[in-house]
């Protein structure tokens, strides 16, 4: 950690800062420049987390050098994490596709969607039983009944199931039914929920928060990992910007950035990013080309009657075409799909 001092910092202030850092168990490295004096705090920066160096008189700014995440970092573990779920390897050379409706609506709909996406080439089934909706008056999901429909669809098709957990009190229930637990974008910094899924033995699909930096995203993954669960799939799903022509702005650059910073697999959700079904295909192609380990795509058998997100759901036929078109792109970069 580098502490940049104010031009006006006095010797007494410098001494006070120096003593403070030493008292916390770090070494100090003083560097007096012509214009500014810098203090380097050498050692474990986390020892400084319980103090507020910026509040010390004479301090202009504090610049951390080390990364705040550990277990999820590439420096901690250099080889990529591969997660095995129901016979499929996530994070391997095979690009995995999770598909299905935004929310579970009826048993018939789930079964039909499951069969169609399986036929189209998906390896996992998505569907929300608990739905985080902006409006209290909108459909909130079927709850446990929805989970049962998902389980039934899994039985019929063999597709492992991905579904969202919104409330720490539902953890056990979700674990009973889900193969992969999804933490939604609005809960990326619901630290209690992260701690909870850190304690279970199921892979977690963690969606990036709407306005989370890559660093914060990785810190949320670290919350889960620090509890013992390192089977984490990161999912970029669009960030909030000033642009309004799409629902969110898909930050595809997050893929190479995350690949450099972490060993965890990285997925893309083009459906929520775009908010419109007709942009899902081009975004999926770009996602595969840039090196994403998987896609999570909304597919509905009857989008115009979907209770949620119909506008961004692919019809099964479009999904089939898309998977066919993705194959040569995956091959072009030496992967399969």
Selected binder of a second copy within 33, 79, 87, 201 (CB under 8 A)? 33
**Pairing state between β 59-63 and 2-5:** antiparallel
Closest by alpha carbon to 100, among 112, 88, 87, 108? Answer: 112
Minimum distance, C-beta of residue 20 to a second copy, in the bound complex (Å): 7
CA-to-CA dists, residue 202 to 57, 86, 153, 230, angstroms: 48, 12, 19, 9
Burial class (CB in 10 A: 0-12, 13-18, 19+), 336: exposed
87 is a contact residue toward a second copy (CB under 8 A): no
Q: How far is CA 229 from the centre of its chain?
A: 15
Residue 253 near a second copy by CB under 8 A? yes
- How many chain residues bind a second copy (CB under 8 A)? 106
Do 222 and 240 form a contact (C-beta atoms < 8 A)?
A: no
- Of the candidates 225, 190, 226, 207, the residue with the CA atom closest to the CA atom of residue 294: 207
Stretch 122-161 residues interacting with a second copy (CB under 8 A): 132-139
- Contact segment (CB under 8 A) with a second copy among 85-93, 115-123, 164-172, 173-181 equals 164-172
For residue 270, give the nearest of 119, 99, 122, 103 by alpha carbon. Answer: 99
Among residue numbers 292 through 321, which ones bind a second copy (CB under 8 A)?
Answer: 303-311, 313
Query: In this chain, which of 164, 179, 222, 298 binds a second copy, going by CB under 8 A?
Result: 222
**283 near a second copy, rule: CB under 8 A:** yes
> Interface with a second copy by CB under 8 A: which range of 85-93, 109-117, 152-160, 238-246?
238-246
- Smaller CB distance to a second copy: residue 85 or 113? 113
The C-alpha atoms of residue 117 and residue 203 are separated, in whole angstroms, by 21
Minimal distance, residue 64 CB to a second copy, in Å? 10
| Interaction between residue 106 and a second copy (CB under 8 A) | no
Least distance from C-beta 148 to a second copy, angstroms? 21
For residue 36, the minimal CB distance to a second copy (Å) is 6
């Amino acid at each position: 950690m580098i502490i940049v001092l104010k031009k006006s910092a006095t010797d007494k202030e410098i001494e006070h800062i120096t003593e403070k850092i030493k008292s916390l168990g770090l070494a100090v490295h003083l560097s007096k420049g012509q214009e500014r004096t810098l203090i380097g705090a050498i050692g474990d920066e986390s020892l400084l987390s319980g103090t507020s160096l910026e509040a010390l008189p004479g301090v202009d700014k504090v610049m951390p050098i080390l990364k705040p995440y550990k277990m999820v970092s590439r420096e901690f573990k250099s080889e990529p994490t591969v997660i095995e779920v129901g016979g499929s390897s996530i994070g391997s050379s095979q690009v995995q596709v999770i598909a299905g409706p935004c929310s579970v609506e009826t048993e018939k709909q789930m079964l039909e969607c499951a069969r169609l996406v399986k036929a189209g080439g998906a390896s996992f089934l998505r569907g929300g039983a608990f739905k985080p909706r902006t409006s209290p008056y909108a459909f909130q999901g079927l709850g446990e009944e929805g989970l049962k429909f998902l389980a039934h669809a899994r039985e019929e098709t063999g597709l492992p199931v991905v579904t969202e957990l919104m409330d720490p009190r539902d953890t056990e229930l979700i674990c009973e039914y889900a193969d992969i637990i999804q933490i939604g974008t609005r809960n990326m910094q619901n630290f209690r929920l992260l701690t909870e899924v850190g304690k279970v033995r199921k892979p977690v699909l963690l969606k990036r928060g709407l306005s989370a930096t890559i660093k914060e995203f990785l810190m949320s993954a670290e919350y889960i990992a620090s509890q013992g669960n390192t089977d984490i799939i990161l999912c970029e799903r669009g960030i909030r910007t000033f642009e309004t022509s799409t629902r969110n702005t898909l930050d595809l650059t997050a893929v190479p950035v995350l690949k450099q910073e972490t060993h965890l697999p990285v997925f893309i959700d083009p459906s929520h990013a775009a908010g419109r079904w007709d942009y899902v295909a081009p975004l999926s192609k770009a996602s595969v080309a840039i090196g994403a380990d998987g896609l999570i795509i909304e597919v509905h058998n009857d989008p115009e009657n979907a209770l949620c997100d119909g506008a961004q759901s692919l019809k099964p036929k479009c999904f089939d075409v898309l998977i066919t078109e993705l194959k040569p792109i995956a091959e072009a970069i030496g992967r399969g799909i």
